[in-house]
Chain A
Amino acid sequence: KNEVEQSPQNLTAQEGEFITINCSYSVGISALHWLQQHPGGGIVSLFMLSSGKKKHGRLIATINIQEKHSSLHITASHPRDSAVYICAVSNTGNQFYFGTGTSLTVIP
């Protein structure tokens, strides 16, 4: 069983739609990370959360520590949001566990 589970695996949306990607984890964590990977490989760290909610532009990330669950929301989605979104958790020992990623395609 993977320590980090993401859903859905693939997601296609129309431009302007509200998107939610979910992440559940089964290990103790010190932080949860949302990463974005575009074709070609480069990874950008979007959020690091240990509690509550963070917002950056059209992106919102929430975490529920008791339920061991996090969501990444994209409001007013745009084709440039098309990428793979990866959920990762780190523990106090700075070890990382990664989800398998959600491939998002936003159609104009």
Chain B
Amino acid sequence: KAGVTQTPRYLIKTRGQQVTLSCSPISGHRSVSWYQQTPGQGLQFLFEYFSETQRNKGNFPGRFSGRQFSNSRSEMNVSTLELGDSALYLCASSLGGTVNYGYTFGSGTRLTVV
């Protein structure tokens, strides 16, 4: 079965621009969570969506937002890009619900802000 698909794999943007990243979960998974990984801060939780609703949010500024569609695909948007937003952005999908199911990660989108 297909895994978690993230697009694009690589992206270069200019400071001040905005960017949208996409994550297609495993079929049947209703939870999608997003993470930022940088050399300095490591992995950090951004937010989690379940059935089109944001259930949890990490400690990131409002420039970071997301949404989930009825087919469980999720997008993450970063507005007014800063150099420090350069990172690997990972998403993970899970069955979701109230039970803690295992997570499957995508390969990530590597964003470079210049």
Instruction: Please indicate whether A and B come from the same complex rather than being unrelated chains.
Output: yes
List chain A positions with a Cβ less than 8 A from chain B: 30-31, 33, 35, 40-45, 48, 50, 86, 88, 90, 93-101
B55 & A45 in contact (Cβ 8 Å cutoff): no
Question: Is B61 an interface position by the 8 A CB rule?
Answer: no
B48 & A94 in contact (Cβ 8 Å cutoff): yes
Question: Is B27 an interface position by the 8 A CB rule?
Answer: no
A41 & B48 in contact (Cβ 8 Å cutoff): no
Question: Is B33 an interface position by the 8 A CB rule?
Answer: yes
List chain B positions with a Cβ less than 8 A from chain A: 31, 33, 35, 37, 42-45, 48, 50, 55-56, 58, 88, 90, 92, 100-105, 107-108, 110
Interface of A is mostly: strand
4 closest pairs, A vs B, by CB? A98-B43, A43-B105, A96-B45, A31-B100
A50 & B100 in contact (Cβ 8 Å cutoff): yes
Q: List 7 A-B contacts (CB under 8 A).
A: A41-B110, A86-B43, A93-B56, A94-B33, A96-B33, A96-B35, A99-B42
B104 & A45 in contact (Cβ 8 Å cutoff): yes
